[in-house]
Structure 1
Amino acid sequence: MSESALQIKDLSVHYGGIQAVRSINISLQPGEQGTLIGANGAGKSSTVRAICGLQPYSGEIFWQGQSIKGLHPNELVQKGIVLVPEGRGIFTRMTVLENLQMGAWHRRDRTHVRHHIAQLMEQFPRLAERKQQLAGLLSGGEQQLLAIARALLSNPKLLILDEPSMGLAPIMVERIFEVIHSLRTTGITLLLIEQNARLALQATDHAWVMDSGTIPYQGRSDALLNDDRIQQIYLGELPI
């Protein structure tokens, strides 16, 4: 098997005397789509914050074989690690187009950036229709599409989506997961953090189930989707 794209070894996160993440291990192969599922407070967001340089931690995180411990978020973006945060984090008083341009802040290939924006406008026609509109006036689903498109303009090698379906209408959740499925053809390594366990397992290759800062279950997403224990505890279903 090829060298891991992302490798997390014995990661622990503390907030004062509270241990939010307890010595977990995760490994994603290049181009693989993985998901971290679990209830609120399980430690998912703390794990994401550690990967993205937003939270101190113990243990090691390696990206493409090199330790990224101590690197700042902007340095990680330049290495290809890009986060779409929970809550979207768009610039509400900037236009849709300006938000997209902010996604390419570190790129120097301006001609390619313009072409990339044009491609994304084709992929997301709602954004094209509203490109001169203030981003804060978009619906929640449109804002999520904008956040993903902005992240893609950073040319990510590892894209982390933190709760992309949260608070969205079912039709927009369906659209968001269509976009997630489409990323499979791009070669981007994906880490999806999602409370909707069924959709997350259907959209990914490998899954880690997080509970109270630990990972009690992990494996192929399709296997976990059909596991009686996972159905009972995390999918709210009883085995047939």
Structure 2
Amino acid sequence: MTGQLRDRLGFQGLIVTDALLMGGITQCGSPGEVCVRALAAGADMLLMPVDLPGAIAAIVAAVQSGQLPEARIQSALARVKAAKAKVARQPEAALTAADLATFDDPSSNATVAAILQASQRQHGRLPLSLPTLQPPRLNLVAVGNRFNCPGLDIAAPALAVPRRHGFETHLCEQAQLDCWQPPASQVLLQIFMRGDPFRGSASLSPAAQDLFKRLLTEGQLLAIAPMVVLI
């Protein structure tokens, strides 16, 4: 964040972490270590650490030992104070048309697209070369609850686009995946799960995880599109 976001891109605003109690980060170290590493990487605010007293103690110890420079803490504190002061100065400021235009700035949109393109992790090359795919083609859509999945109707792109390209759709709840046996097909896997950051993961069952891993290791998985909605 310091080398790229601050130095290369010139961003001088506030950097806030995502929730530090989610499973993707808690596996990387102890709660205190995760917080120290986030600050060292350039974050200014730590969101929802697993153990707040432990995080504070770890940060103090890191500063006292020299692992984390005190200047790093002071720079983060200065940005937090500046952000709070900016809000306090404009408690009732209304958005203008010029303000709204900044949310759809073409150069910003191009930057976002470039970041997404450069940072995506791929198994193979995207977009898929559809003419080379051999039938049968299966669009496996895994959902937490078939009756509570807003936006996933028959016209939804997740269903309509694969259907136009000859994919047969299988819409399965996680409980069904526990006993679902995939046919000998090339599979596009889409996961629509409702997640809870306090739970630490999207709560895929072990059987569902084993199924997805098997599709990957057996070469049946064409692509995966996870969509986890936090509640």
TM-score range, shorter chain: under 0.3
Could you say which structure has the higher strand fraction? 1
- TM-score w.r.t. the length of structure 1 is 0.24
- TM-score w.r.t. the length of structure 2 is 0.24
Could you say which structure has the higher helix fraction? 2
Name the structure, 1 or 2, with higher relative contact order (CA <8 Å, separation 6+). Answer: 1
Q: Which has the larger radius of gyration?
A: 2
